[in-house]
Chains A and B, each alone.
Chain A
Amino acid sequence: EIVMTQSPAILSVSPGERATLSCRASQSLSSNLAWYQQKPGQAPRLLIYGASTRATGIPARFSGSGSGTEYTLTISSLQSEDFAVYYCQQYNNWPALTFGGGTKVEIK
């Protein structure tokens, strides 16, 4: 099983600031990585797949990067609606899909 480790667990950011979330895999993913956003009481929403491709309707302030075992989700200028929990998920070792433990982005 590929273990996904997200850091930090909690990220405190002021509105308008940049947020950088990290996701590390226990083995190389060949960019087979997705990012999701989940707000309280809601289902997750796909943000990024293929490590860097934004899903339909996702604002350009969300960007994904990385390769191998290290990946990053960057939110360039945090809006109020961006405060949420973010999860990474690997699909390189299909069908043994695994998620990271999540990063909560909270208002500083």
Chain B
Amino acid sequence: EVQLLESGGGLVQPGGSLRLSCAASGLTFNTYAMSWVRQAPGKGLEWVSSISASGVGTYYADSVKGRFTISRDNSKDTVYVQMNSLGAEDTAVYYCAKGRDWFDPWGQGTLVTVSS
């Protein structure tokens, strides 16, 4: 069974930075693209970023381009997202998910709150 476990969320001040991690198990990690999707409180889903299986290809939503950096360590079966210049609009539950077209499965999510 594939399992994805996010960590690294928390409270951060506006303009601050945070790095989220997603540890994967139950799959041959280095053969799958991985993605991050977020959900603001009480709102819908928003694709954030994806990374190819090798890590060479990285892709971003316009809303985070230039501020977020996705990466992966295939030796650790882990994908990351480095989030800089955070604003209130980035407050959300961040989900890690397997895939780049559709997403399956998803992790349980980690909450990022941007507030002073």
Contact = CB atoms under 8 A, between A and B. Distances in A.
Interface of A: 32, 34, 36, 42-46, 49, 55, 87, 89, 91, 94-102
13 contacts: A34-B102, A43-B95, A43-B106, A43-B108, A44-B103, A45-B105, A49-B104, A87-B44, A91-B100, A95-B59, A97-B101, A98-B47, A99-B47
Interface SS of chain A: helix, strand, loop or mixed?
Answer: loop
7 smallest CB-CB distances across A and B, nearest first, come from A46-B104, A95-B59, A34-B102, A43-B106, A97-B47, A91-B101, A49-B102
B96 to A, nearest CB: 9
B46 A99 contact: yes
Interface residues of B, number: 20
Contacts of A95: 50, 59-60, 100
Nearest to B107: A43
Contacts of A32: 101
Interface of B: 37, 44-47, 50, 59-61, 95, 100-109
B92 to A, nearest CB: 13
B44 A100 contact: yes
B64 to A, nearest CB: 12
Contacts of B95: 43-44
Given A43-B95, A95-B59, A102 B44 contact: yes
Contacts of B47: 89, 97-99
A101 B42 CA distance: 11
B44 A99 contact: yes
B107 to A, nearest CB: 6
Q: Which of A36, A43, A45, A87 has most B Cβ within 10 Å?
A: A43
A91 B102 contact: yes
